[in-house]
Structure 1
Amino acid sequence: MNYLDLLEQVRAHVSGLFLSSTDKRLIYHNLEHTAQVVDAATRIAGFYRLSDQDFFIVSTAAWFHDTGYLTAVTGHEALGAERAREFLAGKDVPEDVQQAVSGCIMATMMPQKPANLNEQIVCDADLFHLGDQNFRERNKLMRKESEAFLGKEISKDDWKVKTIALLEAHQYHTSYAKEQQGPGEQSNLEELKTRLAAVKQEVLPVAEKLEVEPEKHKQKKKNQESRPDKGIETMFRITAGNQQRLSDMADNKAHIMISTNSIILSVVLSLLLRKLEDNPHLIIPTLILLIICVVTMVFSILATRPSLPHGTFSIQDIRDKKANLLFFGNFYRMPLPDYEAGMEQMMEDRDFLYGSLIRDLYSQGVVLGRKYQLLRIAYSVFMFGIIASVLAFMIAIAIVTL
Structure 2
Amino acid sequence: MNYPHIIEQIKEEVHNVFHNGKDDRLIYHNLLHTEQVVRHIVKLAGHYQLSDSDFFTVMAAGWFHDTGYFTDCKNHENVGAENAKNFLQKVGVPQEVIKEVEACILSTKMPQKPEGLLQQIICDADLYHLGTDDFKEKNKTMRKEAEAFKGHEIDKQQWRVHTIAFLESQHFHTTYAREHLEKGRLKNLEELKEKSLKFQQDQDLILMNEQNIAVAETDALQKKDKKKKLERPDKGIETMFRITAGNHQRLSDMADNKAHIMISTNSIILSVILSILLRKLEDNPHLIVPTLLLLIICVVTMVFSILATRPTIPSGKFTQQDVDQKKVNLLFFGNFYGMSLTDYESGMLQMMEDRDFLYGSLIRDLHGQGVVLGRKYRLLRIAYNVFMFGIVASVLAFIIAMVFVAM
TM-score with structure 1 setting the length? 0.50
Q: How does 1:73-92 map to 2 (within 5 A)?
A: 73-92=73-92
1:96 maps onto 2:96 in alignment: yes
- My pick for the range that moved more, 192-201 or 14-23, is 14-23
Show the counterpart of 1:175: 175
4+ long deviations beyond 2 Å: none
Show the counterpart of 1:31: 31
Show the counterpart of 1:108: 108
Secondary structure in 2 matching 1:195: helix
Q: What amino acid does structure 2 have at the position aligned with 1:23?
A: D
Q: Distance in 2 between matches of 1:60 and 1:139?
A: 26
Q: Distance in 2 between matches of 1:100 and 1:22?
A: 29
Higher alpha-carbon Rg: 2
> How far does residue 33 in structure 1 lie from its aligned partner after superposition?
0.4
Q: Distance in 2 between matches of 1:27 and 1:141?
A: 6
Show the counterpart of 2:122: 122
Q: What amino acid does structure 1 have at the position aligned with 2:58?
A: V
1:198 maps onto 2:206 in alignment: no
Secondary structure in 2 matching 1:25: coil
> How far does residue 180 in structure 1 lie from its aligned partner after superposition?
1.0
Show the counterpart of 1:353: none
- My pick for the range that moved more, 61-70 or 16-25, is 16-25
Q: Distance in 2 between matches of 1:163 and 1:58?
A: 27
Show the counterpart of 2:54: 54
Secondary structure in 2 matching 1:121: helix
Q: What amino acid does structure 1 have at the position aligned with 2:188?
A: N
Show the counterpart of 1:360: none
Count residues with an aligned counterpart.
204
Q: Distance in 1 between matches of 2:74 and 2:200?
A: 33
Secondary structure in 1 matching 2:34: helix
Show the counterpart of 1:362: none
Show the counterpart of 2:295: none
> How far does residue 182 in structure 1 lie from its aligned partner after superposition?
0.6
> How far does residue 72 in structure 1 lie from its aligned partner after superposition?
1.6
Show the counterpart of 2:152: 152
Show the counterpart of 1:22: 22
Q: Distance in 1 between matches of 2:180 and 2:41?
A: 13
Secondary structure in 2 matching 1:20: helix
Question: Deviations along 1:64-120, whole A, 9 cap, x unmatched?
Answer: 000000112111100000000000000010000000000000000001011111000
Q: Distance in 2 between matches of 1:25 and 1:72?
A: 13
Show the counterpart of 1:140: 140
Show the counterpart of 2:43: 43
Question: Deviations along 1:130-186, whole A, 9 cap, x unmatched?
Answer: 011010000011001011111111100000001000100001000001111111111
Show the counterpart of 1:222: none
Q: Distance in 1 between matches of 2:21 and 2:191?
A: 35
> How far does residue 203 in structure 1 lie from its aligned partner after superposition?
8.6
Q: Distance in 2 between matches of 1:197 and 1:113?
A: 31
> How far does residue 21 in structure 1 lie from its aligned partner after superposition?
1.7
> How far does residue 15 in structure 1 lie from its aligned partner after superposition?
1.2
Q: What amino acid does structure 2 have at the position aligned with 1:102?
A: E
Secondary structure in 2 matching 1:41: helix
Show the counterpart of 2:69: 69
Q: Distance in 1 between matches of 2:195 and 2:111?
A: 26
Q: What amino acid does structure 2 have at the position aligned with 1:5?
A: H
Q: Distance in 2 between matches of 1:52 and 1:140?
A: 37
Q: How does 1:1-400 map to 2 (within 5 A)?
A: 1-202=1-202
Secondary structure in 2 matching 1:202: helix
> Could you say what the CA RMSD is over the residues aligned between the two structures, in angstroms?
1.2
Question: Deviations along 1:348-392, whole A, 9 cap, x unmatched?
Answer: xxxxxxxxxxxxxxxxxxxxxxxxxxxxxxxxxxxxxxxxxxxxx
Q: Distance in 1 between matches of 2:41 and 2:28?
A: 18
Q: Distance in 2 between matches of 1:115 and 1:22?
A: 33
Q: What amino acid does structure 2 have at the position aligned with 1:87?
A: F
Q: What amino acid does structure 2 have at the position aligned with 1:35?
A: E
Q: Unaligned regions of 5+ residues in structure 2, if any?
A: 205-407
Q: Distance in 2 between matches of 1:36 and 1:134?
A: 12
Q: What amino acid does structure 2 have at the position aligned with 1:182?
A: E
